[in-house]
Amino acid sequence: MLANEEATRRFAADVANMLEPGDFVALSGDLGAGKTTFVRAIIAHLANDADIEVPSPTFTLVQNYDLPRFRVVHADLYRVAGADELAELGLDETADAVVMMEWPDRAGGALPQDRIDIAFALAPHDGAEHRIVHMDGRGAAAARVARLDAMLGFLDKAGLAGAARAHVAGDASSRSYERLINGGRRFILMNAPRKADGPPIKRGLPYSAIAHLAEDVKPFVAVANGLRERGFSAPKIFLADYDAGFVLLEDLGAELIIAGDPPAPIPERYERAVDVLIELHRHDLPEALPVAPQVEHRIPPYDLDAFLIEVELLLDWYLPVRGAPATAEARTEFLSLWQEALRPALAASKTWVLRDFHSPNLLWLADRSGVAQVGLLDFQDAVMGPAAFDLASLAQDARVDVAEELETMLFRRYVEGRRAHEPDFDADAFGRLYATLAAQRATKILGIFARLDRRDGKPQYLRHLPRIYGYTRRALRHPALAALRDWYRAHLPPPL
């Protein structure tokens, strides 16, 4: 039941935040039931502009809106006589858009099987503005509608059912985030449904199991609490539903350690991020962390299988995309070279490797001091591994260009910081580890970004490939990686 226009706007925000390109929303109901009002509220929310002009498409039949997250196509078939007229409307070219269609019954059998049906009905006995609304997901959309219902139940339990909500840009995963504002208080809602296992690829195990990727929210909660207990600025956890995969987090803001257009590193903030690693790595850190009473999370090891399955992404995705698939002989040589190169990394002392320690996941908290000035996000895939990995993640940042001079300065700052606590810290051995893990990580990301394009339909990641390719060449200059460098020169084409 929607009691008034404000309730309609809240419902529109609920639906808008779950929409994705390719979604089809069928809006049914009598004249005056509120279909167009609902679409206007959806578009205003997505545009973050309450005054955006959204005329009814009753006469134009179709209106297009290029909005920040995706394109919205608003169609009204009231004046359409039958499904045979749909071809002239261009609705078959909307794979990159969300289609919101009024009077969908006029489309007949042309409606997609995977869709969200929303029916509006007047409720005059309850009041002139009251509307009865029923939403149903069909086909692949059914699970997402059920997910929305579960999320609203979680927010109601948290006392935030009436909070204003706004979509927050997320990462490359299936997780999504929203900012909630309620009575002047701000929160972040993490929506992280449990991941379904992918196909088995080795020894009957899927990629996620071999690479030790988090399958639910328990690792995030455990590592967040572990970081906070040690003085680092991970988000405070207010409420978590471990089975459903919802977490209510502290809102650390949106100020990053980068700035500009195109974005570039702010050196002083990168230096503070290095200080975070120095402080983290000088402590003996446990492999097991509590999640809840009688529930703990054991941080998995960054073992050889995990390192190798990651570099194989280059062979399985990047090289085929570039039209240069590796032969069986080249693959065997590649894996043999990496096994040899990774021996020192596997033998090195172990610490928490947060794994995605780079600009998208590092916030700047100007009102805090010391290492607490850097807000930490996206650490649910943390593993026990060599300290050099996270430094390489930062100093060869996948999303922004880090000049070699800045990278060298960050490396030296780290070494000096470690030596201040450990006078016998071996900078040369650490330098080899750093170069090896920088090359491993860049190799993995070349494959991941190619996979995001081809498998997941996210071509925006391709623009980063030239940078990652350059980092790969930079890391492989280390003398200890000469044999790997020769393989890459022979087999790795540059990005288009």
pLDDT digits (tens, 9 = 90+) for 400-426: 999 999 999 999 999 999 999 999 999
Sequence-separated (6 or more) residues with CB below 8 Å from residue 130: 1, 2, 3, 4, 122, 123, 124
Pair 283, 277: CB distance under 8 Å: no
pLDDT over 80 at 128, yes or no: no
171 within domain boundaries: no
Looking at residue 217, its pLDDT comes to: 96
pLDDT digits (tens, 9 = 90+) for 230-284: 999 999 999 999 999 999 999 999 999 999 999 999 999 999 999 999 999 999 9
Pair 468, 446: CB distance under 8 Å: yes
458 within domain boundaries: yes
Looking at residue 162, its pLDDT comes to: 84
Which residue bears the tokens 């069986």? 328
- Residue 20 token pair: 């994705």
The tally of domains found in the chain comes to 2
Looking at residue 173, its pLDDT comes to: 64
- Give CA–CA dist 256/275, Å, rounded: 16
| pLDDT: which is higher, 120 or 162 | 120
| pLDDT: which is higher, 8 or 379 | 379
- The one-letter code for the residue type at 462 is L
Looking at residue 172, its pLDDT comes to: 55
Domain that holds residue 100: 5-140
Segment 339-358 mean pLDDT: 98
pLDDT over 80 at 87, yes or no: no
pLDDT over 70 at 62, yes or no: yes
The residue out of 121, 140, 159 marking a domain boundary is 140
393 within domain boundaries: yes
427 within domain boundaries: yes
- Among 56-65, 88-97, 245-254, 394-403, the range scoring the smallest mean pLDDT is 88-97
Q: Which helix (H) or strand (E) holds 150?
A: helix 142-157
- Residue 278 token pair: 């120095």
166 within domain boundaries: no
The residue out of 100, 116, 140 marking a domain boundary is 140
Pair 209, 152: CB distance under 8 Å: no
pLDDT over 80 at 1, yes or no: no
Mean predicted lDDT score pLDDT of the chain: 93
**Same domain? 341 vs 470:** yes
pLDDT digits (tens, 9 = 90+) for 163-215: 988 888 766 567 889 999 998 899 999 999 987 778 899 889 999 999 999 99
484 within domain boundaries: yes
Share above pLDDT 90 across residues of the chain, in percent, rounded to a whole number: 75
Per-residue pLDDT band for 127 (boundaries 50, 70, 90) equals: low
Looking at residue 333, its pLDDT comes to: 98
CATH number of the domain residue 487 falls in: 3.90.1200.10
The residue out of 118, 140, 162 marking a domain boundary is 140
149 within domain boundaries: no
Per-residue pLDDT band for 67 (boundaries 50, 70, 90) equals: very high
Share above pLDDT 70 across residues of the chain, in percent, rounded to a whole number: 97
How many residues make up the chain in this entry?
496
Other beta carbons within 10 Å of 365: 15
Segment 450-456 mean pLDDT: 93
Other beta carbons within 10 Å of 345: 19
Looking at residue 131, its pLDDT comes to: 84
Q: Phi, psi at residue 117, to the nearest 5°? A: -100, 130
- Residue 105 token pair: 């019954």
Segment 439-467 mean pLDDT: 95
Instruction: Using alpha carbons, select from 392, 380, 388, 309 the residue that is nearest to residue 346.
Output: 388
- Give CA–CA dist 206/197, Å, rounded: 6
pLDDT digits (tens, 9 = 90+) for 6-42: 888 888 999 998 999 999 999 999 888 889 999 999 9
170 within domain boundaries: no
CATH number of the domain residue 21 falls in: 3.40.50.300
Looking at residue 165, its pLDDT comes to: 87
| pLDDT: which is higher, 93 or 256 | 256
